[in-house]
Structure formats: structure tokens, C-alpha cells
Amino acid sequence: MLETFWQVWVAVIVVGSIIGCGVLIQYTSRGMRKEETDQTTGHEYDGIQELDNPLPRWWVMMFWSTIIFAIGYMFVYGLGNWNGFLTVEVDGEQVSWSSSNQWKAEVQSFEKDIEPLFNEYAATPIPELTKNKEAMETGKRLFMSNCSICHQTDAAGTKGFPNLTDSDWLYGGKPENIVQTIKHGRMGAMPAWGGVLGEEGVADMTAYVRSLAGLKHDAASAERAAPKYQQLCMACHAVDGTGNQLVGAPNLTDDVWLYGGSTKDITFTLKNGRNGKMPAFGEIWDTNTDQKIHIVSAYIYSLSQK
């Protein structure tokens, strides 16, 4: 909604422009001859003379028509925060037209038309639905519109956003796990251990974490950090570093890294911690929500099964 100042500002400009156009046509028509003549206005340039003839009637009528159309347009669609006579159906009720209400009406109309197909897809178990080519095309479109901005168009992810095409899952890759993640979202939090471990302790723990994944590391540093790992990290990442999908703690032994597996990246993670958030689409989608979640979950599940 526009503030009062801007509402008045827009109204003055629009109404003033319409009145100005009417005054202009009246002023230019005043005192003009009623019939055509050979007399000139005295203006001549490069041999071209301006005849003192009245404005063409068709042009005058068209000019007035545009003014009448503008007035009618204001009454139909409204001006600023003032509503016009036109209405659209939103949430089963007739409401005044606005660009946002028009968009809502069109979306709801589409959702209503597509609902039977969505219900059909939703009634099919996810493993079976992955074999339905049309359903997967629908799931792909939903993914592209809502998920690709974080997980990329190929779902391979990027730094801080998981790859959805492999078999490495923070919270589990079963159909029910994926549905749960998309519907309710996830909150990932890795505490900052810099203050607890200190600079040398972080360096040692970095070496130990890299050792779990079989990466190049300093053996002596890793050995010094082993007791600290069991004390501070085991609760989430397990004794052997294989992680815990119940809390979204990643597997540290498979060389798959959400924020990078280099010494620099791991050091930063240990020192400063990490915080990630997966939005809850159960709260974002307001129509056919469960059906959409089921379909896009099937699409994501199909990517990891290849």
C-alpha cells in the first residue's frame, strides 16, 4: 500500500495529466478556422509552408478518445490505493483488482486445474513415481523454480549447499527423510571450537579430521588431537567419524565436504563454526503443498539413484 503522500502524488500527476491533455486540445482548437484554406500562418522553411488549416477531425476525435479511455481505466482499475470497480476471485472471495490480486487469482486458478494430477502423483509411492517421466518433468520444474538457486540447476550443489546427486546425505537419503527435510526444513549448526582448542589445538584437530578421510596430514598432530576428538566431537560425528544423520552431523571419513576439505577450509570450520539453514517449504508453498513436496522429493530421490 502506498503512503498517503505518494498516493496523492500519483493521483495529482495522473489526473493533472488527463486534465492537461483536455485543456491542450481545447486551447489548440480555439480560434482556428472551421474550413480549409490556402492561407498560411507565415511559417516557411526550405520552401515548405504551413497552411492555416484546422486540426483534422479524426485526429481530434482520437485525442478525446484517449482521454475518455484514461478516465474509464481509472474507474475500472483504480488509482493508487483507491480501488476500481473491477474485481477478481482470490481465496474464494471477490476482491478489488490489483496486480498482486490478479497474480494470486491466476496462480490459484492454475493450482485448481492441476490439483487432480498432483493428487494422482501424490498417491504413488516415491520409488515408483521416479519411473513416471511426466511426474519427473514436473518435479524438475518445481526444483528449478525453488531449489536450484542453492543447489544449482544440476543439483550438484556448491560450497555450503549439499550435492543432491550422490549417496552422501546429512539427514538421510530415504524418501521419508527427503520429504521431512523439504517439508520442515533443517537447521545445521557446527559450534566454534577456536576458543576451546586454541590455535595449536585447531591445527592438530584439522590434521586429525583429514586423517579420518585418508587425506594428507601430519601424523603427530593428528595423534595429539585424537583424545580431544573423543571428548568434543564424538557425540555428533561418532567414534569413528562416520557422522550421525539424526542430527545432520556429516560423515568425516568419505572425503565429501560441505564446506571444503582443504586444510584452510577445515581450519575455518573448526575455529569459527558453521550455521546452515534449509527453508521449510511446508510453510512457503500455500497450495497443493503436500503434493508438491511429494513430487519434488521423488525427483531429488531419483537423482541420487542414478
- Please indicate, yes or no, whether residues 291 and 180 belong to a single structural domain of this protein: yes
Q: What is the mean pLDDT of residues 60-79?
A: 93
- Please indicate, yes or no, whether residues 178 and 217 belong to a single structural domain of this protein: no
- Structure-block grid coordinates of residue 2: 502506498
**Is 39 within a domain?**
no
**Is 141 within a domain?**
yes
CATH of the domain at 194: 1.10.760.10
Query: Given this model, what pLDDT does residue 1 score?
Result: 65
- Please indicate, yes or no, whether residues 170 and 289 belong to a single structural domain of this protein: yes
pLDDT digits (tens, 9 = 90+) for 114-143: 999 999 999 999 999 999 999 999 999 999
- Please indicate, yes or no, whether residues 233 and 126 belong to a single structural domain of this protein: no
- Please indicate, yes or no, whether residues 116 and 226 belong to a single structural domain of this protein: no
pTM of model > 0.85: no
**Is 134 within a domain?**
yes
- Structure-block grid coordinates of residue 200: 595449536
Which residues form the domain of 171?
A: 103-185+280-305
141 vs 37, residue with greater confidence? 141
- Please indicate, yes or no, whether residues 138 and 273 belong to a single structural domain of this protein: no
**Is 68 within a domain?**
no
Query: Given this model, what pLDDT does residue 137 score?
Result: 97
Q: What is the mean pLDDT of residues 240-246?
A: 95
Q: Is the pLDDT of residue 31 over 80?
A: no
Query: Given this model, what pLDDT does residue 35 score?
Result: 72
Query: Given this model, what pLDDT does residue 286 score?
Result: 83
Question: Of 42-56, 99-113, 142-156, 263-277, which range is least confident?
Answer: 42-56
Q: How many CB atoms lie within 10 A of CB 232?
A: 18
Share of the chain above pLDDT 70, in %: 98
- Please indicate, yes or no, whether residues 288 and 179 belong to a single structural domain of this protein: yes
**Is 9 within a domain?**
no
- Please indicate, yes or no, whether residues 166 and 301 belong to a single structural domain of this protein: yes
Query: Given this model, what pLDDT does residue 122 score?
Result: 95
**Is 203 within a domain?**
yes
Q: Is the pLDDT of residue 52 over 80?
A: no
Query: Which pLDDT band holds residue 32 (cuts at 50, 70, 90)?
Result: low
- Please indicate, yes or no, whether residues 147 and 294 belong to a single structural domain of this protein: yes
- Please indicate, yes or no, whether residues 172 and 199 belong to a single structural domain of this protein: no
- Please indicate, yes or no, whether residues 153 and 294 belong to a single structural domain of this protein: yes
By CB neighbour count within 10 A (0-12 exposed, 13-18 middle, 19+ buried), where does 128 fall?
exposed
Grid-cell match 594428507, residue found: 216
Q: What is the mean pLDDT of residues 244-249?
A: 94
**Is 79 within a domain?**
no
- Please indicate, yes or no, whether residues 161 and 291 belong to a single structural domain of this protein: yes
**Is 195 within a domain?**
yes
What's the total number of domains in the chain?
2
